[in-house]
Amino acid sequence: MTAADLVTIDGSIFVGAERRHHGPTFRAVNPATGASIGPDVSEADAGDVADACALAAAAAEPFGTLPPESRARFIEASAEAILAIGNGLVETAMAETGLPRGRLDGERMRTVNQLRMFAAEVRAGHWLDATIDPALPERAPPRPDIRRMNVPVGPVAVFGASNFPLAFSVAGGDTASAFAAGCPVVVKGHPAHPGTGELVARAIRAAVATRGLPAGVFSFLPGRSNDLGAALVADPQINAVGFTGSRRGGLALVEIARHRAEPIPVYAEMSSINPVVLLPGALAARAEALGPAFAASLTLGAGQFCTNPGVVIAVDGPDLDRFIVAAEQALAGAEPAVMLTAGILESYDRGVAELDRHGSVRRIASGKPGERRLCSAALFETTADRFLADRALGEEVFGAAAIIVRCRDANDLVQVVTALEGQLTATLHMDGADHGFAAKLLPLLRGRAGRVLANGWPTGVEVTAAMVHGGPFPATSDPRSTSVGTLAMMRFVRPVSYQDIPDPLLPPALQEGNPWRIPRRIEGTWERPA
């Protein structure tokens, strides 16, 4: 492997170290121009899936039992290799996604720092949850020696998202957290950014080679067909699935996973309208500032964030009117934008047109009109009664469209919040005077969302230990998990107990001498080596 290998895009499938090219092929499309770009990309087929999964299964034991330091170094090497691709990575992603340079520069660093964060988390060793209850030979009956730790589940299938071609794609949060947990990864490459995907795949492949790991630790299977994804989830060697995308797509994978001989968990991050509640005190104090801030969050990245604020809920009155006027004015200046793919733009336009035709909502503001291939923002309003009467109004329109729900009073507002489906985020804008009402709403919002925030906007997801990017159905298929932050790696482990296993045969994490020097809970007390 040479430096040139790292910056080549030739439409490869990577089955472990092996590069494959075969028909059929497809090409990337620049969504700003509609032009095909890049080379012919080979579409992976069922044979590639089977081979990649078999290699992954063979790599599972050696990779899954690496000492934390070795696995951390591999993850860091992946981060370094992504940086080593250089500027071509961002330029390829710009051409394939229509996202601007600043955003992609930031996303590249987020991706790299996320990998480094997981490397640090692997080293820290908390994730092993090593727990030891020593034998009590004097007890009647004698208690055996019991030791528990988390072990990797085995090969994981990752489906990248179109809207984060770096941070939620080939080396994104799902891959990084699966590697951290000790699981080989087979990526189904997103067809909207195949060149970007291939570059990142080459970087991980280089890190696998540099660190001397089994080639099956990582494979990259680009393709457009649903059959490819279905074959991957159905492969008996796959033990868990990470997915970010549409509700329809996520639920289809959940169904396939359920019907396997051995069902497996699918962690699908799917659909969220991210309610924003404007409480009376906040509206009275700063309606004119909240309006443009909302418009900015709504239109950020053409509204293509999972955490885009799609519904604003407030008690009706002059303060809400002031907010709406301010939001309208801000939106009127919002430039039309390129969306990620022609298909996403078409869905967005269709969703907005349905709202325009819907008898229960009224369009109240729009972004600057866009030409062909561009979207423009759309803001609607309705009443609480109407919103409650039609659940379709609570469904996500992916893009810069939102609905303001005018509530008669606080009770009305509580009803709307109570009726919401599961969400990634729920936001409260409040002043000191609102704390009483907020205290009543917070338990409801906590019950409906993975993250509750105050006086901010839901777009922007910090990658930290405390982050939850998840939430009740249909925000995700598994509300016990997050797809962002260090907790994400816990999706890919399961606990195992060892009883009376002779010390030399125990995994190092559980051996009496604690050779990995990790924190362990012994007879109820956490012990941390100096």
Question: Which residues in 367-396 contact a second copy (CB under 8 A)?
Answer: none
Q: What is the three-class DSSP state of 473? A: coil
The beta strands (E) that lie in 23-178 are given as: 25-29, 36-42, 131-133, 146-152, 156-159
433 binds a second copy (CB under 8 A): no
DSSP state of 136: B
Cβ atoms of 232 and 253 within 8 Å: the answer is no
Q: Give the active site residues.
A: 269, 306
Choice from 65, 225, 347, 360 touching a second copy (CB under 8 A): 65
Question: Interface with a second copy includes 513 (CB under 8 A)?
Answer: no
Stretch near a second copy under the rule CB under 8 A, chosen from 17-25, 35-43, 197-205, 478-486: 478-486
Q: Which of residues 171-190 bind a second copy (CB under 8 A)?
A: none
CB nearer a second copy, residue 63 or residue 220: 63
Secondary structure of residue 69 in the 3-state scheme: helix
Is 346 among the residues that bind a second copy (CB under 8 A)? no
Q: Rounded CA gap, 191 and 220, in Å?
A: 12
Phi, psi of 433 (to 5 degrees): -65, -15
Q: Which of 21, 101, 258, 350 binds a second copy (CB under 8 A)?
A: 258
Output DSSP code: residue 44.
P
State the sign of the Cα–Cα–Cα–Cα dihedral 117, 118, 121, 127.
positive
Q: Does 113 sit near a second copy (CB under 8 A)?
A: no
Please pick, from the candidates 36, 47, 61, 333, the single residue that binds a second copy as defined by CB under 8 A.
Answer: 61
Cβ 146 to a second copy shortest distance, Å: 4
Helix (H) or strand (E) holding 144: none
| Structure tokens that stand for 75 in this block | 């993850």
Using CB under 8 A as the criterion, what x/- string covers residues 201-240 for binding a second copy? ----------------------------------------
Residue 17 CA to residue 211 CA, distance in Å, equals 13
Which span (333-341, 374-382, 402-410, 440-448) binds a second copy, by CB under 8 A? 440-448
- Candidates 292, 317, 456, 508; binder of a second copy (CB under 8 A) is 456
| Interacting residue with a second copy among 23, 140, 248, 262 (CB under 8 A) | 262
For residue 71, state whether it binds a second copy (rule: CB under 8 A): no
Site for a second copy in 490-509 (CB under 8 A): 493-502, 504-505
Q: Minimum Å distance from CB 249 to a second copy?
A: 16
**Separation of alpha carbons 228 and 49, rounded Å:** 8
Phi (first) and psi of residue 25, to 5 degrees: -130, 165
97 binds a second copy, rule: CB under 8 A: no
The reply on whether position 100 binds a second copy by CB under 8 A is no
Structure token digits, residue 319: 């303060």
Q: Please state the φ and ψ torsions of residue 328, each to the nearest 5 degrees.
A: -55, -50
Instruction: Give the total of residues touching a second copy (CB under 8 A).
Output: 74
Return the sign of the alpha-carbon dihedral for residues 481, 483, 489, 493: positive
